[in-house]
Each structure stands twice: as structure tokens, then as C-alpha cells.
Structure 1
Amino acid sequence: MIAPVTVDDLVERIAARHYSLGVIGLGYVGLPLALTACEAGFAVVGFDVNPARVAEINAGTSFTTHVADARIASALAEGRFEATTNFDKLASVDAVIIAVPTPLTKTRDPDLSHVADAARQIARRLRPQHLVVLESTTWPGTTMEVVAPILDESGLRRGADYFLAYSPEREDPGNREFRTAVIPKVVGGDGAAAATLATALYQALVTKVVPVSSTTTAEAVKLTENIFRSVNIALVNELKLIYDKMGIDVWEVIEAAKTKPFGFMPFYPGPGLGGHCIPIDPFYLTWKAREFDFTTRFIELAGQINTAMPQHVVDRLAEALDRDQGRGLSGVAILVLGIAYKKNIDDLRESPSIRLIELLELRSSQVDFHDPHVPVVPPDRDHTRLGGRRSVELTPEALGRYNVVLIATDHDAVDYGMVVASSKLVIDTRNVCERLGLSAPHVIKA
């Protein structure tokens, strides 16, 4: 009689790399994770519903500058990686990690349809010894209240036949110092066996694993991280507004304040929030809090302040234009510098630049953009208004044709000296001109 496979047996297989992974969702989180697993010696199958992305990855091409083509090509050449739309291959892997989007609906309610779809795909192929880990950011309780019931429909016993865990993603696109493998991983399991197995897997992938008591705690960790950032960014954005009225430079204040070696952490104002995490994730807790008859006042106030920042920038631009050129926004030619949500990346998710362009065009301005990392805005559902628009070339002659240049994202690849020297009016939302010693009368902070 063959002895049953134990958790200790599975841990040994992980250590020996006789263990395979499936990653559902090959986006900004899933693709780096899949390649990190390949580089750690595991065979990985990446799943995505987008055939074009799958074909692109299998050809050795990355959809984002955050992941180098060479990493994909290396994993493919070593035979450790393949991308597919065929979810039947889930049955052949030992662990499945879900890394799919978790957006908000138009009414700011959580949209877990992608998570539920992924769970259903797994449930149809679930087998004994499978480990399933959710990484998508969501409200505390999602793993047990949404994913677990779907997987349990397979008839397999959770904690005995298969194992379930949660480990929040911590990707930071564009950050060269912190790649996936060196970012500590928080892990919460549904029971001791799941926690042991998931911890062993992530210990093989990253330099440090931080076990917590439950999947719900792990989910709360991720939300806490992003809420902390959202609230503090809102605070400095509000300080910027009031200090501006008082004739005080908030950037100078922050630079001086951060010299205190304790009790202060610098955050910086901007034209609004971007990316998937900070603008969206805090509202998952706001939504869940209603179940407990609790109002998340700090979170909602921070959201209101940060959401209002693009309008503040447009108002500041209009004031400067009226003062310097004696005209309103109608018919004015404006160049937006940077359409990605933060510097040195090509990620447009929730970018405040998109909102800035929309607001300016509603005021009948003629708006172009330049972004060294985004040659064209993809025509997807999030950018229906701007889809297909192309980045214009940045030259002194081109800059001279615009009434205003609006610095929305401070990419390092932009020649700001040329921008200041060749532009009639510059609205700087990132303080990049002063940081580079390019202050001038026609450069206005906003």
C-alpha cells in the first residue's frame, strides 16, 4: 500500500524543486512573480485570458518596462516557463497563485469577478495536494468568504485534500532596488498545514517570509500598507493647498522637516494618485466596514482630497495662464509631460495625467502629451477617451508651439533644461524644476 503524501513530503519537494507553479494573471504582479519562481528553479505555467499577451510573452517580449525581455527569454530558453490561455493545464501544476485585478465598480464597490472566475477555473481542475494562494489585494475575509466556497464545490476537503492561503503582492513598478525576490512576503494560511506549505513555497522564492495567524490578517496587512500611504499623501496634499494660500512652499517645508531623525516620515504632494493600489485598495476596507456599521472617515476624507487634486492643478494652471498670457483655457495648446502614474514606468493605471487631460479638454483646451515610456495610449476599456493617442516628440521647436507645459510625471529621461528654456509657461506638479536648479519666473508650482 502506498503511503499518503504528507505536508512534510510536499515541503521536501519544494526544497528539491520537484514542484511546479501555476500563476493566473500575467500582469504587473503575476509576470514578475512567475519569472522569480523560474529563476528560483521552479517550472511555471502562466495563465491569462488575453491571447495577445500570452503570444507576446511566449515570443519573449514583455508588455512593460518593469520586466525586461531578457528575463522572459531566459525562462523560456531554459524550458521552465510557458504562458497559456488553456486553463486545463492547472491540473498539472502543484500550486496555483491567483494574481488577477481587483478593481472598483463605478459605485466604488469591490469588483471580485476576476478572482471568482479564477477560483472557478481552479475548482474544475482541483486535485489532492493542490496549494492555492490568492495574492490579489482585497478586503479582509475574501479568501475564506469568496474563494474557499468556490473551491469547496470540488468536493475536496480544505486543509486535508487541498490547501488555501493568502499572500499579498508587494510589487513596486519602476523600483530597481526592490525586485520581487527581495521584498518580504507576508503569508497567512487556512490552518497550520496550509500555512506551513505556503510559507515553504515563498521561502524558496524570496529572501524573507513573514507568517501571520490567518488569511484575514494577511489581507488586512496589505490594506493597512496602502491606507497608510493614501492618508499621508492626502495630508501633504492638503498642506500644499493651505500653505500655497499662505505663501509658504510646501516642498521647502518637507525638505526641512525630514531632517528630524525621528517622528517624521516624508511624503510628497502631487497632481493626484495613480496606480492600482493607493487610489483603489483603501475603499475595499471602506466597503467591508459597512458590514460592521462603521464609517472609515480618515480613508474617505483622504480619498476626497486626493481625488480633488487634478482639479486643483487645472485651476492653478488657469490662474497662471490668465495672469501671464491674459487668456482662458479655451483653445489653448497644452503639452502634458508624463502620462504614466509615476516616474520611469509605463503604467497608466489610475494615472492622474489621464484625468488632467480630460479636465482640460472639457474646458476646450487642445492637449497633447509626451512620455518617453508610453509611445501610445492603449485603446482599452480604461482609456476609451485617449486610446490610440501618441506621444509627441519633445524638441525646442515643439515646446515653443504650446502655451503651457504641464509637468505631471517627473520621468528622468526628460530634458527639463530644454523644457524650461523653450517653454512659455511651465506648471510643475512634482517640483522637479527646483530640484534640478531650474527655477525661473515662468515656472509655477502646482
Structure 2
Amino acid sequence: MPADLAVIGLGHLGLPLAQAAVTAGIDTVGYDPDPRAYAELRAGRTPVEGVLTASEVRRMLSGGFRPTTDAAELGRVRTAVICSPVPLGPDRTLDLTALGDAARALAARLRPHTTVLLESAVPPGTTETFLRPLLEEGSGLVAGRDFHLACSPGRLDPGNRTRTLANTPKVIGGLTPACTESAAAFYGRLTDKVVRARGTREAEMTKVLETNFRHVNIALVNEMAVLCHDLGVDLWDVIRCAETKPFGFQPFRPGPGVGGHGVPVDPGCLPYSSRTPGHPLRMVSLAQEINDRMPSYVIQRCATLLNEHGKSVRGARVLLLGVTYKPDTADQEAAPAREIAARLMDMGAQIGYHDPHVLDWRVRERPVPRADSLYEAAAAADLTVLLQQHRTYDLQGLAVKAQLLLDTRGATPAGAAHRL
């Protein structure tokens, strides 16, 4: 059965897009080669925790959403949006394997006049120099002449119920002006505002700037956190005061590390591009180095606190609270909790955890004991470490019950805990 839209890749980007499209009355098919994702969706469950609820998935299915593992469905749509994951590889460069597989699957079935959109977060130049050749070679069609091609990087904030796809401006950059307008016509059905970039590279670079802005500013406050602790200054009070400035300042807060799906990208160090300027973004590299050090700093603070209270890390019972990368979601993408737990285990600590959104948690493929009773576990632990401030946590009560509490998020009342 033909459909108006195919969403390729049913992960943290594709599922919300498919949901918005079905809500807008767009006949939508979702393609993912992973049979597990297909089985979960067909059963009315979400394959990605923290993205959609089971009830939301069931409403999508009742609204006509059709998940599939059959790539033949891609040849019967007017618009195809690629939302494939682009993770970091072992060498810390972005792995485009899944994107390439999606492009080849679509190219073999691409029809004239189809609009192809890329939402995956990619380095500048990817749409034109990586995706376009795959689509043209596999289809025999020419982008910009036979089919439309544009980039519109995803702008989702998991767990944020006030900022949705509908009220978040959508940046679009097409290979040609006609490609941009075709993309704008599609996204205009889903969002209140469409922002036209000059081209695909400008749209791709917008995502790079947004992601690097976050990482660089978090790195700044992470360094400030270490400095303020050494000087005996309350950084959290400093931020509270600074954010009253009505211009020239935007508050960021430190933490045990930086997680999430958006990774910092240095477009000056892309191995596959023939047009890289050869001038790496040194601030981005430094920010990543600083943020990568934060789990080690948290462990250092843990060891110091235990030592100050006559205890050693070896044999200590340590309870980790909140193992997700954002509060009030189940998403664990790149969350620092796993690294912190692994290093504490290496030092001989006995690790337990609590998270209302994560019922099973593993570190190095080994299950970590989950606390059934939060207060009892905190009272029994030699050290409790708050890594994520979920809304359900009563931090005042927790501070009273815990023998020793390290708050890496500055969420506890002043004086109630040791803060990062």
C-alpha cells in the first residue's frame, strides 16, 4: 500500500517524527532493518526506552502507522526521511555505516519526484558528498533534477514535554532552492516555523554549532566547579547570581560528565572530506577533554569523602542514584554513570544503584544490584552519589537518611550534601 511518508530508522529521532506525522494525518510507514524494533512496535511497545510510551505507540498504530522490515515499502512513498543513528566509532569519529545502509536500501527503490530528507546529525558535507552519491548511483537518478534532497537535522529534547516537534523551529537546507521548498512544504505540515538555510552544508553546520555550544559551555562550568571547590567557593550560588544578568549570559551547570545523542564534532578533522580547512576547532577538542575528565573527578571526590570519614573505597558500599543522561527519562545514551561505576568497581567498591526509570542496569555485562527501598539503601550505603536528579527524588529526605551524600548536580538544598 503506498504511503505519504517513510521514516527510515526508528530510534530517538525517527519515532517522534513518525508520531508527529501520524498525528498530522500523514500516512506513514516506518522502516528499520532491526527485527527486534519491528516486533516491539507491532506488539505496541517502544523499542527505545524514554522516547515514546507504550500508549503513544499504540495510538500511532491505531492511527495507521505501519512499521516494517521490508525495504520494498520505500519505493512507494512521496517523502523519505532518514533518521539512522550516527554513533561515535572507536577512533571517536562519527560512524556513518547505518546511514550508508539506509541510503542504499532507499536508492534501490527510489522513484522520480521523491523528496529525500536527512535528519541524522552529521558533519557538514555529508548530505552532498556521502549521501547524494549513494542515492544517485543506486537509483540512476540525479539529485536536484529527478528527486529532491535536503538536510534538516533533528532538534529533539528527550523528556521535554513543552518543546515538541510542532513548536520547535525546523532548519532546512536543500541541494537546490526547489529542494528546500519541497522540504519546507513537508515540514510545514508538522511544525509551526520553518527556517530556510542557504544549503545542505549550512543546515548540517547549524547542528554542529548547537551541539558544540552545549559542550563548550558545560566544559567551562565543569572547570569552574573544580576551581571553586579548591577555593572553597559555592559555584551553585555563583551561577544563581550570574543568571540574574539580563544580557550576555546563559546559565549552564556542571555535572559528572556529558551524555546524550549529540556528540561534539570538529569539522576541521573529518577524514573523508576533501574540503576540510585543516584548522581544527581547538576549543571543541579541549571542551571534550575537560568533559571526559569529569567521571575521574567524581571518583576522586568519592575517595576523598570516604577517606575523610575514615573509610576506604575498597570494600565501601556505594549507591549511585540516577543512571540516565537526562532527568526524568530512561535514556542512558553516553551517560557517565556506567564509567563511574566501572572505575569504582575496579577500586574494590561494592556498587548498587537506584533509578525509577531503569529497572535493569548492567556494567561490563554484569548486572548491578538495584535498590528496592531508596531510603533504606541510602542509610546502609557508606556513600550515596546523586548522578541524575529525577523529579521523584526527595532530596531533602535523602540527605537526612544518607550516611554521606555527594551531589554532582547541585540539586540538594544548600548545606544538605557535599556538592560537586
Structure 2 length-normalised TM: 0.95
Instruction: Report the secondary structure of 1:157's partner residue.
Output: coil
Instruction: Report the secondary structure of 1:174's partner residue.
Output: coil
Bigger shift: 295-304 or 412-421? 412-421
Q: Summarize deviations over 1:383-436 as a string: whole Å, max 9, x none.
A: 6614654532134332222111000000011232332122110010011112xx
Instruction: Report the secondary structure of 1:21's partner residue.
Output: strand
One of 392, 398, 407 as aligned partner of 1:419:
398
- Change in Cα spacing, 1:390 to 1:165, as seen in structure 2 (3 Å) is farther
Give the corresponding residue for 1:68: 53
**CA–CA distance in 2 between the matches of 1:375 and 1:100?**
27
- Change in Cα spacing, 1:433 to 1:83, as seen in structure 2 (3 Å) is same
- Change in Cα spacing, 1:28 to 1:390, as seen in structure 2 (3 Å) is farther
Q: Summarize deviations over 1:3-62 as a string: whole Å, max 9, x none.
A: xxxxxxxxxxxxxxx961101111111000001011111011111122122121122222
Give the corresponding residue for 1:126: 110
One of 392, 397, 412 as aligned partner of 2:376:
397
Are the aligned partners of 2:21 and 2:28 in contact in 1 as well (CA < 8 Å)? yes
Q: Taking every aligned residue pair, what percent have the same amino acid on both sides?
A: 38
One of 342, 348, 366 as aligned partner of 2:350:
366
One of 279, 282, 293 as aligned partner of 2:265:
282
Q: How does 1:20-59 map onto structure 2 within 5 Å?
A: 20-59=4-43
Instruction: Report the secondary structure of 1:374's partner residue.
Output: coil
Matched, 1:318 2:303: yes
Instruction: Report the secondary structure of 2:221's partner residue.
Output: helix
Matched, 1:429 2:408: yes
AA paired with 1:28? H
Offset of residue 214 of structure 1: 0.4
Give the corresponding residue for 1:263: 248
AA paired with 1:41? G
Offset of residue 327 of structure 1: 2.0
One of 193, 200, 208 as aligned partner of 2:178:
193
**CA–CA distance in 2 between the matches of 1:55 and 1:270?**
37
Matched, 1:336 2:336: no
Instruction: Report the secondary structure of 1:182's partner residue.
Output: coil
AA paired with 1:156? L
Are the aligned partners of 2:228 and 2:234 in contact in 1 as well (CA < 8 Å)? yes
AA paired with 1:303? Q
Q: Summarize deviations over 1:122-157 as a string: whole Å, max 9, x none.
A: 011111111111110011000011000011112112
Are the aligned partners of 2:268 and 2:277 in contact in 1 as well (CA < 8 Å)? no
Offset of residue 69 of structure 1: 2.5
- Change in Cα spacing, 1:387 to 1:149, as seen in structure 2 (3 Å) is farther
**CA–CA distance in 2 between the matches of 1:165 and 1:391?**
45
One of 218, 223, 244 as aligned partner of 1:233:
218
Structure 2: gaps (5+ residues): none
**CA–CA distance in 1 between the matches of 2:363 and 2:4?**
39
Give the corresponding residue for 1:180: 165
Q: How does 1:61-210 map onto structure 2 within 5 Å?
A: 61-62=45-46, 63-79=48-64, 81-153=65-137, 154-210=139-195
Give the corresponding residue for 1:305: 290
Bigger shift: 68-77 or 189-198? 68-77
Offset of residue 70 of structure 1: 2.7
Are the aligned partners of 2:9 and 2:32 in contact in 1 as well (CA < 8 Å)? yes
Q: Summarize deviations over 1:222-271 as a string: whole Å, max 9, x none.
A: 01001111101100111111111111011100000111111111111111
Are the aligned partners of 2:8 and 2:14 in contact in 1 as well (CA < 8 Å)? yes
Offset of residue 103 of structure 1: 1.1
One of 194, 198, 203 as aligned partner of 1:213:
198
- Change in Cα spacing, 1:390 to 1:403, as seen in structure 2 (3 Å) is closer
**CA–CA distance in 2 between the matches of 1:65 and 1:124?**
33
- Change in Cα spacing, 1:257 to 1:351, as seen in structure 2 (3 Å) is same
Are the aligned partners of 1:375 and 1:390 in contact in 2 as well (CA < 8 Å)? no
**CA–CA distance in 1 between the matches of 2:20 and 2:62?**
15
AA paired with 1:188? G
Give the corresponding residue for 1:444: 418
Matched, 1:355 2:324: no
- The number of residue pairs the alignment matches comes to 415
Aligned-residue CA RMSD (Å): 1.7
Instruction: Report the secondary structure of 1:292's partner residue.
Output: coil
AA paired with 1:264? F
Instruction: Report the secondary structure of 2:270's partner residue.
Output: helix
Give the corresponding residue for 1:375: 359
**CA–CA distance in 2 between the matches of 1:402 and 1:193?**
62
**CA–CA distance in 2 between the matches of 1:386 and 1:335?**
19
Q: Summarize deviations over 1:291-347 as a string: whole Å, max 9, x none.
A: 3221211000100100001111110111111001x1221111101000001110100
Structure 1 length-normalised TM: 0.90
**CA–CA distance in 2 between the matches of 1:245 and 1:287?**
38
AA paired with 2:58? A
Are the aligned partners of 1:139 and 1:285 in contact in 2 as well (CA < 8 Å)? no
Instruction: Report the secondary structure of 1:22's partner residue.
Output: strand
Give the corresponding residue for 1:8: none
AA paired with 1:363? M
